[in-house]
Structure formats: C-alpha cells, structure tokens
C-alpha cells in the first residue's frame, strides 16, 4: 500500500522538525522516519550567535533530545546517520557505507547549508572554528575555555561575523574582524547603514580590517597564541579564529542522484524537486529562484509542505520577510531588494540611525535597510513592501 510507505525526512534542523510538526497537524498515521548526521537535538540555530551575551552552553540551547522529539512527533529519529545516496527510480536511500536501503513513499531534503571554508594556510588551522550547528558550538565554547581565550579574530563581517563580533564583545573578549569588502554587512546593507554598524561596534572596542583577505593562521612564536596573516602584509595576534564567510546550500546528495540543482536544490512552489516524490526545503532549497537561508521562509515552507504531504497540495507563498540582525550595539533590520532589481536608494542618516529605502522606477518600495533608532520604521515600511512570492 503506497499510501502507507513512510515519509522520510533528511535533516532535523528547524526545517526538518518544523515540517514534521506541521505535517502531524494534518496526519497522525503515516509513518515518518527522520534521519540526521548530527545528534538530533532540537535547538534554535539563531541562538548560536548570542551565546556569550546570554551565557548559554550547548546543553542550555538544546530544547529536546532526539528521543523526546521522536515521541512528540510520532516519528522514528535516526541520529549520527549519514545518507550517502538517493535512488530516485526505486525510491530508496542509502545510509553510510552499509548496504542498508530505506524505501520512501515521499522524501524530503532538509539538509541545510555548509559553511564555506576560505582557502587559508598555516600550522594552526585547528584553531579556526566555524559555528554552524550545536556540536560545532560546543567545540567552539570548549576551545575558548580550554585555551583561556582573550582575543578572537573573526573572518568575515557579514551577518554571522558581525553577530559573533558583537556577542564576543559582550562576553568580554577583544575582537578583530577581517573582510575583503569595505564595511559591515556589505552584501545586505547600503554603505551608510553598514558604516553605522561598524562605528557602533568600534565604539564597543571591535577593530575591523576592511579590504584584505586572511591568508594564513599560524602558531605565534613561543607557541602562545596565534598569528593571523592578511594579504596586505598586516598581522593580527589572537587566541582563536572564527570563520564566518558565508554558507552554501547542501546540494551534492541531490545532484549526485540526478536531481536538478542550481544555487540550491531547485523546486517549484509546491517544493517538488525534479524527481518524483522528492521535495526540498530549508537552507538547501532554491524555490522559484529564491535561496533564503533564514528561519521565516522555512516556516512558510513547513506550513505549505505539511499540508501537501497530507494530501492537500499547497504552494508556498512568501510575504516580505525582513531579517533582524543580532547586533545590539546597533540593531539592524533589513529587507534587501530583489536581486538585479533596478531602482534607487534614498538614505536618511542621523548618527548611527539610518533609514534607507529602495524604490523601483515606478516608485514602489522594494527593499529597506534600517539601523539604530531607524528600526522603528520597520512595521510601516514592511506593510508597503510587495510579497516576495504572492
Ligand atoms: P540545518 O539546521 O543546518 O539542518 C540540516 C540537517 O541536515 C541537520 O540535521 C544535518 O545533520 C542534516 N544533514 C545534512 N546532510 C546530511 C546527510 N548527508 N545525511 C543525513 N543528514 C544530513 N536566521 C534567521 O532567520 N534569523 C537569525 O537571527 C539567524 N541567525 C543565525 C545565526 C547563526 C550563527 C547561524 C549559523 C544561522 C542563523 N540563521 C538565522 C539562519 C537559520 O538558523 C537557518 O536558516 C536555519 O536554522 C536552517 O535550518 P535547516 O533545518 O534548513 O538546516
């Protein structure tokens, strides 16, 4: 009976667990198997970059273990299990090196995104951390404690880099950050807004190196601390390095299976991939051309796909979804204009308070960037924005 073949969900991040939670509102009976390469604990990933501000360990952030989640969701949760291949013809997946094959009625890829590893040389790369899940976070905090870290160098001054800069400053560390672009949050904000964030973080003690790339991380002479080398000849002394240069949707498993991928695993608005009975969502997906590695879009996907999998085909729709960046030194809310949209920024600046609005040729608001007290404009401006996928 094909209708009772299990729904298999790959990934137990906010996307995977969020989906099954929604699905169970509509269907209590269909078996669900969830498979994750990590320990399956449920946690809110955005909290990974506020850990020193809020003094939270990995255990504090874990809301429930895999067993508890399985009970809550009436699902079988398989942890520390790597899916290595998908056979879309026979509707099976392969686990690890084993010969084990799992049959699926429907398969959902909620595989997340990998952190991009910058090409850095040196003899101290084991002190370069990227924090992309709860296990990474535990390693990073353990290393900070064990090495009595006082000073951190952050590679990248984008969303994650700036959040970690602010968080570590709040935790009493000194921080230097490096970014090849010219100011904070360069891919999200127009320059005056990025400069406001930079100034606010500098006022708290952060030091930025804009323009150069990090080329090497080595043990310092005498083996106490690290030396980070930049391609402009500058060096930074520190005790630990955090790499935060961005993420890339995990598409390899899908592309190896012959499923269409572009920047992410490509789907239509039903979140159907090019393979029959295979869906994708969360950080790994590209829906109708949109790759959005944030929580609000994956919640919208979970609501729609939860219904679709229960038999009521439902397209995902996206309202405008501004992103809040957790830099309390200078709060930021941004809704970047759509890629390649033609139009002009209007920028009102008062110290670190910036209200920047982007309008297309017809005068329609298409994006905004707000910093400091400027964030008070968020509600009003959000109402004016057209939906991203109406
Ligand atoms: P993930 O949580 O990465 O889950 C992927 C799952 O897939 C994991 O269970 C993994 O084990 C599993 N997996 C991968 N490959 C395999 C395999 N081959 N076999 C089996 N399992 C596999 N967004 C916001 O909207 N607001 C914020 O303030 C914000 N702050 C953030 C701060 C940080 C530090 C970070 C890193 C991200 C932040 N984000 C924020 C982004 C947001 O957290 C992500 O968009 C979201 O958590 C992605 O969830 P996901 O379930 O798609 O991916």
Whether 315 is covered by a domain: the verdict is no
List pLDDT tens digits, range 207-240.
Answer: 999 999 999 999 998 778 999 999 999 999 999 9
Q: 238 and 277: one domain?
A: no
- The count of other CB atoms within 10 Å of the CB of residue 93 is 23
Q: 6 and 101: one domain?
A: yes
Q: Give the per-residue pLDDT at 4.
A: 79
* Final residue of a structural domain among 243, 260, 285: 243
Residue to mutate, 8, 45, 129, ligand 1, most ligand atoms under 8 Å from C-beta = 45
The ligand 1 atom at the shortest distance from the C-alpha of residue 112 is 53
The CATH number of residue 370's host domain is 3.30.390.120
List pLDDT tens digits, range 153-184.
Answer: 999 999 999 999 999 999 999 999 999 999 99
Strands 353-360 and 343-350 turn out to be antiparallel
Q: 87 and 162: one domain?
A: no
Q: Is the ipTM of this complex over 0.90?
A: yes
Whether 318 is covered by a domain: the verdict is no
Q: 90 and 48: one domain?
A: yes
List pLDDT tens digits, range 268-302.
Answer: 999 999 999 999 999 999 999 999 999 999 999 99
- Label residues 276-289 b or e (16+ Cβ within 10 Å = b): ebbbbbbbbbbbee
Q: 235 and 291: one domain?
A: no
pLDDT at 361 over 80: yes
**Ligand 1 proximity of 282 Cβ (cutoff 6 Å):** yes
pLDDT at 3 over 60: no
**Residues of the domain holding 288:** 2-113+248-309
Whether 288 is covered by a domain: the verdict is yes
Q: 151 and 171: one domain?
A: yes
Strand segments, DSSP code E, in 322-374 are 323-325, 332-335, 343-350, 353-360, 365-371
List pLDDT tens digits, range 76-87.
Answer: 999 999 999 999
Distance in angstroms (rounded) separating the CA atoms of residues 248 and 208: 25
**How many domains in the chain?**
3
Q: 219 and 231: one domain?
A: yes
List pLDDT tens digits, range 302-357.
Answer: 999 999 999 999 999 999 999 999 999 999 999 999 888 999 999 999 999 999 99
Whether 325 is covered by a domain: the verdict is no
The ligand 1 atom at the shortest distance from the C-alpha of residue 82 is 19
Q: 269 and 341: one domain?
A: no
* Final residue of a structural domain among 243, 272, 289: 243
Average pLDDT over every residue of 186-199: 97
**Ligand 1 proximity of 54 Cβ (cutoff 6 Å):** no
Whether 27 is covered by a domain: the verdict is yes
Band of the pLDDT at 129, cuts 50, 70, 90?
very high
Q: 216 and 108: one domain?
A: no
Q: 341 and 298: one domain?
A: no
Average pLDDT over every residue of 34-53: 97
Q: Exposed/middle/buried for 109, CB within 10 Å: 0-12, 13-18, 19+?
A: buried
* Final residue of a structural domain among 194, 211, 243: 243
Whether 302 is covered by a domain: the verdict is yes
Distance in angstroms (rounded) separating the CA atoms of residues 132 and 146: 20
Whether 321 is covered by a domain: the verdict is no
**Ligand 1 proximity of 35 Cβ (cutoff 6 Å):** yes
Could you tell me the two tokens for 74? 């009436």
Q: Give the per-residue pLDDT at 1.
A: 47
**Ligand 1 proximity of 230 Cβ (cutoff 6 Å):** no
How far away, in angstroms, is 13 Cα from ligand 1 center?
A: 5
Whether 324 is covered by a domain: the verdict is no
Q: Which of 135, 107, 144 is nearest to 281 (CA)?
A: 107
Q: Which backbone phi and psi does 379 adopt, to 5 degrees? A: -55, -50
**Ligand 1 proximity of 94 Cβ (cutoff 6 Å):** no
Q: 217 and 130: one domain?
A: yes
**Ligand 1 proximity of 86 Cβ (cutoff 6 Å):** no
Q: Which of 286, 275, 263 is nearest to 93 (CA)?
A: 275
Band of the pLDDT at 40, cuts 50, 70, 90?
very high
**What's the chain's average pLDDT?**
96
The CATH number of residue 237's host domain is 3.50.50.60
Q: 55 and 137: one domain?
A: no
Distance in angstroms (rounded) separating the CA atoms of residues 33 and 273: 19
């Amino acid at each position: 009976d094909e209708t009772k073949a299990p729904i298999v969900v790959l990934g137990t991040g906010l996307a995977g667990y969020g989906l099954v939670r929604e699905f169970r509102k509509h269907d209590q009976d269909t078996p669900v198997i969830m498979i994750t390469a990590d320990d399956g604990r449920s946690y809110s990933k955005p909290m990974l970059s506020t850990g020193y501000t809020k003094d939270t360990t990995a255990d504090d952030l874990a809301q429930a273990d895999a067993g508890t989640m399985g009970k809550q969701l009436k699902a079988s949760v398989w942890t520390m299990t790597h899916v290595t291949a998908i056979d879309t013809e026979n509707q099976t997946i392969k686990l690890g090196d084993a010969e084990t094959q799992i049959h699926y009625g429907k398969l959902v890829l909620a595989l997340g995104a990998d952190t991009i590893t910058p090409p850095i040389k040196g003899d101290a790369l084991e002190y370069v951390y990227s924090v992309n899940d709860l296990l990474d976070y535990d390693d990073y905090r353990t290393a900070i404690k064990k090495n009595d870290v006082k000073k951190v160098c952050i590679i990248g001054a984008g969303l994650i880099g700036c959040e970690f800069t602010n968080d570590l400053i709040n935790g009493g560390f000194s921080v230097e950050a490096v970014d090849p672009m010219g100011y904070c949050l360069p891919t999200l904000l127009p320059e005056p807004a990025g400069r406001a964030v930079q100034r606010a973080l500098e006022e708290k003690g952060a030091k930025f190196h804009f323009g150069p790339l990090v080329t090497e991380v080595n043990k310092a002479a005498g083996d106490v601390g690290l030396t980070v080398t930049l391609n402009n000849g500058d060096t930074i002394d520190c005790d630990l390095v955090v790499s935060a240069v961005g993420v890339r949707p995990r598409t390899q498993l899908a592309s190896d299976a012959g499923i269409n991928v572009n920047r992410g695993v490509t789907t239509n608005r039903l979140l159907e991939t090019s393979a029959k009975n295979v869906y994708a969502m969360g950080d790994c997906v590209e829906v109708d051309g949109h790759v959005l590695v944030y929580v609000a879009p994956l919640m919208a996907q979970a609501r729609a796909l939860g219904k679709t999998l229960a038999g009521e085909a439902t397209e995902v729709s996206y309202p405008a979804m501004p992103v809040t960046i957790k830099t309390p030194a200078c709060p930021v809310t941004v809704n970047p204009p759509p890629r390649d949209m033609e139009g002009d920024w209007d920028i009102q600046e008062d110290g670190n308070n910036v209200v920047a609005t982007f309008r297309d040729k017809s005068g329609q608001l298409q994006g905004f960037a707000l910093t400091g007290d400027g964030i008070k404009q968020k509600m009003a401006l959000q109402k004016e924005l057209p939906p991203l996928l109406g």
